[in-house]
């Protein structure tokens, strides 16, 4: 009945709004991640003026030696992002019943906008390296905490609409990283000083988040959206009316007994443990995928130096293009492929095997030209090796992760699918947090 009576989504306006909101959920983290050149430049010790560094009686011609804050920035940044993401993803499942959806979404977007405005202002403010490091990590914790609430609330809102309205959120999230990387490349292409480029870069982020806020505020005015919200809100009233009719016709004591029996049966059928036993392969697979991905990207991959540039323009664009832009484009391509191809199947042993094989990317990136390095040799020095590894690494991340997230809820009964999806989301966040933790070890081994 709902589908027959529902109004049309004129000009796909609601679809576009959900795409913009999906873009806004992952854009903040991607903007911080792709701006590592700017952040590490602010962490350099101005008093250091050494041109080479002796390590194990060898001279490393790598310019000024990096201080502790600079060398550990990417690892600490990833940890400060993924741990709050895991914690607040769990908390959102409890607070969503106590805090109105409008406050959760608009409030989270407003806080994230405020953080980016402060970040843009701090570009022009002189700060000591330690103070800048602490403030930056606090901002990363803040945007990922509210980003987790925003993401969970947005998917819950999309659940009220037809199934196809989850797709624009995923598409927006997939393009968020590519947009951030492209914005950084454009900022660098202006030829301005790094700090001036960073200022324009963060102002761009503010504009996109303002667009997301404006889009969300116009959403309740859409007839298509209003219809589904009102339909969803009217169901409890209809249920109450049915209950009243039944109580008039039946003995109240007998009715309570039946209701209690049905509740007990539902509790047993919705047992989280029983559902996990059916989807544990998919849950652990998606966890492992993101442990490998975040363990190496960006903590290890961003430290690779070009051997072709020789100090030219390519040296400036090598990481923004070959690392961030390439990763996000191929990750988005991998996610998109699942719309037309879902091989191997949900019960195939080949899927977890392919997931396990991704562990090979850890040593492959370690043996690229990561600098500075102290223990391992460089086996893949040419830029082409790094680019090839990045293409396969990012595409497999998007494709296999999307397969696991799609297959998980399909391995259980229809009424258990929502719970299965929540379990999959938790293990995805767990993989992000574990990846952030092991990234310290991976970088230290090099």
Does any domain span residue 235?
Answer: no
Token duo for residue 142: 């803040």
Does any domain span residue 267?
Answer: no
pLDDT at residue 189 greater than cutoff 90: no
Does any domain span residue 128?
Answer: yes
pLDDT at residue 340 greater than cutoff 70: yes
> Which of 201, 223, 245 lies at the terminal end of a domain, its last residue?
223
pLDDT at residue 339 greater than cutoff 90: no
What is the number of other CB atoms lying within 10 angstroms of the CB of residue 365? 25
Q: What is the mean pLDDT of residues 343-349?
A: 88
The separation between the first and the last C-alpha atoms of the chain, rounded to the nearest angstrom, is 61
Q: What is the mean pLDDT of residues 91-100?
A: 74
**In a shared domain, residues 209 and 316:** no
CATH of the domain at 49: 1.20.1250.20
pLDDT at residue 295 greater than cutoff 50: yes
In which band, very low, low, confident or very high, does the pLDDT at 107 lie, cut at 50, 70 and 90? very high
Strand extents, DSSP E, 29-74: 53-55, 58-60
> Which of 223, 255, 286 lies at the terminal end of a domain, its last residue?
223
The CA-atom distances, in angstroms, between 256 and each of 238, 249, 264, 270 are 19, 13, 12, 21
pLDDT at residue 156 greater than cutoff 60: yes
| 142 contacts: CB under 8 Å, gap ≥ 6 | 111, 112, 115
In which band, very low, low, confident or very high, does the pLDDT at 241 lie, cut at 50, 70 and 90? very low
Residue 55: per-residue pLDDT: 34
**In a shared domain, residues 185 and 286:** no
pLDDT at residue 313 greater than cutoff 90: no
**For the ranges 47-56, 124-133, 186-195, 359-368, the one whose mean pLDDT is highest:** 359-368
Residue 93: per-residue pLDDT: 66
pLDDT at residue 412 greater than cutoff 70: yes
Does any domain span residue 23?
Answer: yes
Q: What is the mean pLDDT of residues 179-203?
A: 82
In which band, very low, low, confident or very high, does the pLDDT at 167 lie, cut at 50, 70 and 90? low
In which band, very low, low, confident or very high, does the pLDDT at 256 lie, cut at 50, 70 and 90? low
Does any domain span residue 161?
Answer: yes
**In a shared domain, residues 284 and 214:** no
pLDDT at residue 247 greater than cutoff 70: no
Do residues 67 and 46 lie in contact, with contact meaning Cβ atoms separated by under 8 Å? no
**In a shared domain, residues 286 and 412:** yes
Nearest to 381 by CA among 392, 370, 394: 370
Tell me the C-alpha distance between 307 and 282, whole Å.
39
**In a shared domain, residues 302 and 194:** no
**In a shared domain, residues 215 and 343:** no
Token duo for residue 11: 């000009």
Which residue is listed with tokens 């109450």? Answer: 240
**In a shared domain, residues 181 and 304:** no
Q: What is the mean pLDDT of residues 387-416?
A: 87
- At residue 298, what are phi and psi to the nearest 5 degrees? -100, 0
Does any domain span residue 388?
Answer: yes
Does any domain span residue 61?
Answer: yes
Residue 386: per-residue pLDDT: 96
In which band, very low, low, confident or very high, does the pLDDT at 89 lie, cut at 50, 70 and 90? confident
CATH of the domain at 348: 1.20.1250
SS3 for 370? strand
Does any domain span residue 2?
Answer: no
Do residues 136 and 116 lie in contact, with contact meaning Cβ atoms separated by under 8 Å? no
For the chain, give the mean pLDDT. 81
- Out of 84-98, 206-220, 297-311, 397-411, which region has the weakest mean confidence (pLDDT)? 84-98
* pLDDT more than 70, % of the chain: 82
Which residue is listed with tokens 């370690």? Answer: 366
Cis peptide bond N-terminal to 344, omega within 30: yes
> Which of 205, 223, 241 lies at the terminal end of a domain, its last residue?
223
Do residues 176 and 113 lie in contact, with contact meaning Cβ atoms separated by under 8 Å? no
Residue 429: per-residue pLDDT: 80
More confident residue, 163 or 191: 191
Q: What is the mean pLDDT of residues 116-136?
A: 91
pLDDT per residue as tens digits for the range 211-235? 999 999 999 888 888 888 887 655 4
**In a shared domain, residues 197 and 344:** no
**In a shared domain, residues 288 and 352:** yes
**In a shared domain, residues 363 and 444:** yes
Tell me the C-alpha distance between 72 and 206, whole Å.
27
**In a shared domain, residues 218 and 317:** no
Q: What is the number of domains present in the chain?
A: 2
Structural domain containing residue 197: 9-223
Q: What is the mean pLDDT of residues 385-390?
A: 96
pLDDT at residue 287 greater than cutoff 90: yes
Residue 49: per-residue pLDDT: 42
**In a shared domain, residues 190 and 286:** no
């Amino acid at each position: 009945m709902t589908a027959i009576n529902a109004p049309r989504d004129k000009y796909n306006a609601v679809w576009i709004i959900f795409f913009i909101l999906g873009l806004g959920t992952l854009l903040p983290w991607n903007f911080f991640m792709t701006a590592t050149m700017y952040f590490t430049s602010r962490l350099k010790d101005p008093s250091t003026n050494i041109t080479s560094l002796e390590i194990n009686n060898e001279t490393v011609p790598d310019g000024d030696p990096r201080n502790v804050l600079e060398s550990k920035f990417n690892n600490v940044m990833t940890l400060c992002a993924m741990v709050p993401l895991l914690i607040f993803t769990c908390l959102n499942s409890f607070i969503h019943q106590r805090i109105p959806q409008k406050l959760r979404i608009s409030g989270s977007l407003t806080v994230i906008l405020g953080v980016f405005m402060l970040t843009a202002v701090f570009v022009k403010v002189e700060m000591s390296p330690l103070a800048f490091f602490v403030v930056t990590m606090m901002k990363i914790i803040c945007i990922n905490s509210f980003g987790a609430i925003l993401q969970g609330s947005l998917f819950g809102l999309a659940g009220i609409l037809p199934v196809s309205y989850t797709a624009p959120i995923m598409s927006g999230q997939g393009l968020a990283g590519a947009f951030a990387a492209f914005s950084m490349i454009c900022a660098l292409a202006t030829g301005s000083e790094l700090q001036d480029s960073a200022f324009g870069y963060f102002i761009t982020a503010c504009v996109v988040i303002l667009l997301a806020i404006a889009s969300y505020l116009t959403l309740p005015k859409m007839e298509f959206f209003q219809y589904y919200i009102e339909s969803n809100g009217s169901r409890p009233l209809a249920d109450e009316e049915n209950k009243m009719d039944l109580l008039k016709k039946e003995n109240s004591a007998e009715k309570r007994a039946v209701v209690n029996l049905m509740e007990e049966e539902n509790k047993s059928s919705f047992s989280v443990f029983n559902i996990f036993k059916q989807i544990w392969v998919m849950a652990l697979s998606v966890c492992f995928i993101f442990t490998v991905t975040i363990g190496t990207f960006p903590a290890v991959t961003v430290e690779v130096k070009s051997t072709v540039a020789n100090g030219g323009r390519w040296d400036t664009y090598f990481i923004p293009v070959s690392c961030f832009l390439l990763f996000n484009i191929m990750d988005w391509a991998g996610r998109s492929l699942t719309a037309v191809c879902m091989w191997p199947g949900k019960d195939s042993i080949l899927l977890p095997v392919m997931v396990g094989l991704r562990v090979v990317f850890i040593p492959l990136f370690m043996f690229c030209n990561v600098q500075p390095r102290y223990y391992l040799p460089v086996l893949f020095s040419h830029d082409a090796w790094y680019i090839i590894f990045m293409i396969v690494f990012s595409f497999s991340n998007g494709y296999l992760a999307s397969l696991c997230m799609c297959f998980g809820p399909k391995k259980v009964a229809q009424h258990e699918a929502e719970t299965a999806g929540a379990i999959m989301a938790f293990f995805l966040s767990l993989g992000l947090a574990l990846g952030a933790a092991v990234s310290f070890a991976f970088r230290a081994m090099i």
